[in-house]
Structure 1
């Protein structure tokens, strides 16, 4: 079938790639690509963060885990497996997404920092989005899938010369669909030079002021914030200072780390991910948006479902 994917974040690009692999003629159109997307700001630590419903998210996350782990053999893909710990200040049961990972263990008492009483440790993919997004573009180029810069203001207008439209516009679906259930969740991060850190760390004790330290190849990403209904994409110096202070309490070596940059992105929060077919006058639209803070974590799994829905229309 002839398919137009609207949106060039990680969800749009992985969906387009999977559709091309299934034999469809695919084109991607998007108002922003590369560094202009929310995906480019992502910490991209595999973790089902702020994404529901639980059963579907667990399934999608498991598929993405396997896909990303498989990409670690290709250095150009920007994916590494990293061991890490999520830390808690109170005893906590296993996460609802436990079945999405092959192994998850409790942190031994001697490995808990002061003030923490429990934790998980697990090995997960960490994706350097500055590498992975261009890698995806390269895979699409090889599959002869063009990516064009174009603002789509009406889904009906996206049907010119195609049979199906796939809506992967993230927060943009709020106006495009429109979908008032979408909520921006502001995330600000700091990027510092790598200083030999191999393990990621996460503390969600304060759900609005998160602490995460995610090592990548030549940098470490520090976060962060989760500020609902805040659409300010300017870097706030006071937030930067707070992020550095909170992360350094967990990893003291960050006190002397060299700051490389600051980024802000708006996560597409929604009560549940929307992944379904809607039939408009012009034709079928497959919606795939509302991934919260788990776009990378869900992307390859959701791409499989998108391809399945398109195949059912054939």
Structure 2
């Protein structure tokens, strides 16, 4: 691991830890305020914040474990920990959204008179706190599924708090008590959209699916066009984590070449795969006149 990457990883972990502490404070404040004011919306926002705390803790632990060294019985180390965390977090986003939709419908048809001043101040506190956390994770979310899921948790919670604040202001000045239910419903729909996208991506990685931007037939055609190569077959391509893309395949050669000649050809293959497809972990099994299945995809 490069020094720059190590420093970035350490910074991300510190940002996560700070966000955890901040969201614990927000959650406790909103729970107390929700009971004191009688606001269901504030309690729902507190529940949402609580799930943020859980997801951030999962993300933090995953980030810590993902940097641990490999061992003889864990040859990949914990490199998939962050993908698992992203999967759990995205699934929880969808569950939270369904709960919010249910509660918003109930609250819409049965609005309660609440202490709007307390709602306004505590929702504003949540907006500031989550806003700080969102800014801390803004940069790293683009390169890390785990941090991306944590980021969207915080972003959607900040938007939910904006809805609660708007509802509080309308209740205070206009006596409109159903508006926060409508806003919460819309935010929950957005939550499902974001959560499903993250769920789909992390699920694909965990299931070892070929990345959607990789065309296997294109790779095979390009490798088969190289001198001395007869057939590339039994191909597997999968993503281990955010930065490692693996390929393993068998290659049937036209001639019974020497090991040194194979190494020369292998360097060419590696250059093509890295520069054209971003595949940075490559395992090739050389063959000559071997009687086996020559299909590109072979079920092991």
TM band (smaller chain) = under 0.3
Question: Could you say which structure has the larger radius of gyration?
Answer: 2
Query: If the length of structure 2 is used for normalisation, what is the TM-score?
Result: 0.25
Structure with more strand by fraction: 1
Query: If the length of structure 1 is used for normalisation, what is the TM-score?
Result: 0.24
Structure with more helix by fraction: 2
